[in-house]
Chains A and B, each alone.
Chain A
Amino acid sequence: MTTAAAGGADAVPPADKHPSGQSSVPAPRKPSDASAGGPGRSRRSVTGTRRVIAALFLAPALVLLGALVVYPIVYSVYRSFFDQAGTGFAGLDNYKALFTDDTIRTAVKNNAIWVVFAPTVSTVLGLIFAVLTERIRWGTAFKLIVFMPMAISMLAAGIIFRLVYDAAPERGVANAVWVGVHDTFAESAGYPKAHPLPVHPLKADADGSFVTKAPVRAGQPVQLPLVGVAPAKMPTDAKPAKAAAAGAGKITGTAWLDFTRGGGGRPNVIDAKELGLKGIEVEAVKDGKVVASATAAADGTFALPASADGAELRLPASNFKEPYNGVEWLGPTLVTPGIIGSYVWMWAGFAMVLIAAGLAGLPRELLEAARVDGANEWQVFRRITVPMLAPVLAVVLVTLMINVLKIFDLVFIIAPGSSQDDANVLALQLYRSSFGTDADLGIGSAIAVLLLLLVLPVMYFNVRRIRKEGRR
């Protein structure tokens, strides 16, 4: 490729080869430059410039770019063919390791997940936000809020989302919401730490349930006293426990919290202020089989049919399991989607702003014409807005993909040490392979080259676009 071809000289008529300034100005200040510029070089040159001056203007940039950007590329390619020590030629071994080593393969896999999902989700959200806010008066305020996270560091965003994803529902907002939703649909009125006293008609079974020491008989009310439930954890609608009335042909009984606040309660006796264990499950078990079951009322009483006569009563372990604690957002399975969520939080605003700018550039008449022709909003969006925005959407997607390819900070900060292997991405693996005690620069360089190869198409696309613009 020649300079002239890219420069746009072909647009200049041959007769006007010399920069126009020189032909009309009697005495150019630097006559020697007329030859330096050369014929037909550019429509832009003001007057000839000494090459030395051009070199001086360019030198700092070119030196820095050469030493810190171009040279590293060459070095990385070269180094990627050598082993850990850097002395033995390794051929393609380092590249093979990218796909055989388990940790690195996870990184490759996760990077693929990142590149597919993070840009698309961000772009789709950006598109939705841009379209919805277009004709709303406070749209700018909304945009500002969504765009703001772009201004902060990934480190700060990482800390923000470490807090959001805190596994304890009483601290992490994600789990607080999740548990709230979960408990709305699946009530968890359990008594996690409840247990019987040592002198007591109940004994603990291996699976965490409690069983009566003797079989129960119809007509003899059963008492199932438990302790160990904090008063605050009792259901708010639990009522003072009542001794169950003996019913003919029925097994009746009371399950209650055998503890009087402030003292004065007697063990294994239903005292006045003691509360019924509302909702606790009671099963009648004969020869290991559940023959009947019941749930205690607010005053702790329950009744089982006659078939339970002679059975042992069991309070199954489900009564005592821990309350639902939500999801482990930063555990092995959810850590990558979780971090992608934080990325979307940061970058959807970027997509939104670019798409909104594209949207503002769409010809109004076209959209109006479609509406007049009876197209509904969805059809206008689907058939006109999106196709016309395609170039913008492509730029946004590609930009985000490049950005996501080298994602590092968010993963490094958000993934706790225990799940950092599961959240691994190429840039993180590159960092681990390149620095630290058991660094392998061969592998590190191979990852660097892989990252570079992945951005090559975009590099080509950019260069081609600029060349076209130059020719225009």
Chain B
Amino acid sequence: MTTASNAATNTTAATEPVKAEQSLGARIVARAGGGVMRVFLILVGLFWLMPTIGLLLSSLRGADDIASTGWWKVFTAPSQLTFDNYSRLLDNSTITHSLLSTVMITVPATVLVVVIGSLAGYAFAWMEFPGRDWWFLVVVGLLVVPVQVALVPVSKLFGTVGIFETTFGVIIFHTAFGLPFAIFLLRNFFAEIPRELLEAARLDGAGEIRLFTRVVMPLGGPAIASLGIFQFLWVWNDMLVALIFADSDSPPITVALQQQVRQFGNNIDVLAPGAFVSMVIPLAVFFAFQRQFVSGVMAGAVK
């Protein structure tokens, strides 16, 4: 290692003068290239923002304006901008009700995954029982099972138990499909907790439950945060599961809007602000917890 880096340093030193001679022309090329690159990136950035901006501006225009011209007209006619769509949307009980349903589904489904996943993750990391590693491999295998596989069988199962088309059913379904990732992530994180810490707590007389709630859970904070954010966004943004399992009288926002999409074109004044409202919470969570979100994404790259 040392030799290698020494060699590298030597090479650099040896070639330094040559580099300096080359660098004038090379630097100009690099600068110009850098300029082109910057312009390119700015254009790509604008291009990437455009669809979202289009939605936002569309949501701020009256139905007649939307029907006759594109959202870019507001740049020349800013007077078109209005909050009418939003005030009407918030008076629309279907939409407000569905936002509430989304919260009622998302929060429990996130909490349950964190709690159940932590319990299992801790057991896999620090407890002894026969077949432990084998069970863990099964969980890892389940990481990539597509939800589609479960739609029909679980709807029959839920039908038998009597929780088909209930909010509870949706919560349970999301919890189950969130668990493989939760267990995988938390088990790996908990396994890194220094053994001495747990032993010390044990010596102080902590039982398994206390150990879990007072030592493991607090130490697992970062992983739990990542998992929680990931699961929260996943459930909040889900449409398919809710489409099948949610109570048709209180569907979450995604399903409520999906039902509106069928008449696309005539109701953009409802769809655009609706979509934007449904995006507000995920975007807020995303911007507030970028770091946790990214580490969740990294850990979940196999999902």
Residues of A that sit less than 8 Å from B by CB: 1-3, 6-7, 21, 25, 29, 33, 36-38, 41-42, 44-49, 51, 53-55, 57-58, 60-62, 64-65, 67-73, 75-76, 79, 129, 132-133, 136, 141-142, 144-146, 148-156, 158-164, 166, 170-173, 176, 345, 350, 353-354, 357, 365, 368-369, 372-373, 395-396, 398-399, 402, 405-406, 408-409, 412-413, 416-417, 427, 430-431, 434-435, 441, 444-445, 447-449, 451-452, 455, 458-459, 462-463, 466-467, 470
Contact = CB atoms under 8 A, between A and B. Distances in A.
B78 interface: no
Interface residues of B, number: 118
B58 interface: yes
B239 interface: yes
B209 to A, nearest CB: 8
Given A46-B126, A463-B137, A142 B55 contact: no
B10 to A, nearest CB: 11
11 contacts: A57-B119, A61-B116, A64-B175, A68-B172, A72-B154, A149-B52, A153-B279, A444-B152, A447-B148, A459-B145, A463-B140
B202 to A, nearest CB: 6
A164 B57 CA distance: 12
Contacts of A372: 11-12, 15, 19
A159 B261 CA distance: 8
A462 B48 contact: no
B283 interface: yes
B123 interface: yes
Interface stretch (B80-88, B89-97, B127-135, B220-228): B127-135
A53 B264 CA distance: 54
B79 interface: no
Given A3-B134, A57-B122, A75 B153 contact: yes
Contact of A64 (B123, B151, B179): B179
Interface in B18-64: 19, 37-38, 40-41, 44-45, 48-52, 54-55, 58
Contacts of B70: 170-173, 176
Nearest to B66: A171
Contacts of A458: 144, 302
A6 B55 contact: no
Contacts of B282: 151-153
A350 B208 CA distance: 39
A69 B134 contact: no
Given A54-B123, A430-B148, 15 more contacts: A6-B134, A21-B199, A38-B130, A42-B132, A62-B120, A72-B149, A153-B239, A153-B279, A171-B67, A173-B51, A176-B72, A406-B148, A431-B148, A447-B148, A462-B302
Query: Which 8 pairs across A and B sit closest by C-beta, in order of nearness?
Result: A153-B237, A151-B286, A68-B176, A72-B153, A6-B133, A61-B120, A72-B150, A57-B123
Interface of B: 4-5, 8, 11-12, 15, 19, 37-38, 40-41, 44-45, 48-52, 54-55, 58, 66-72, 116-117, 119-120, 122-137, 139-154, 156-157, 172-173, 175-177, 179-180, 183, 191, 195, 198-199, 202-203, 205, 208, 211-212, 233, 236-240, 244, 254, 257-258, 261-262, 264-265, 268, 271-272, 275-276, 278-279, 282-283, 285-287, 290, 293-294, 297-298, 301-303
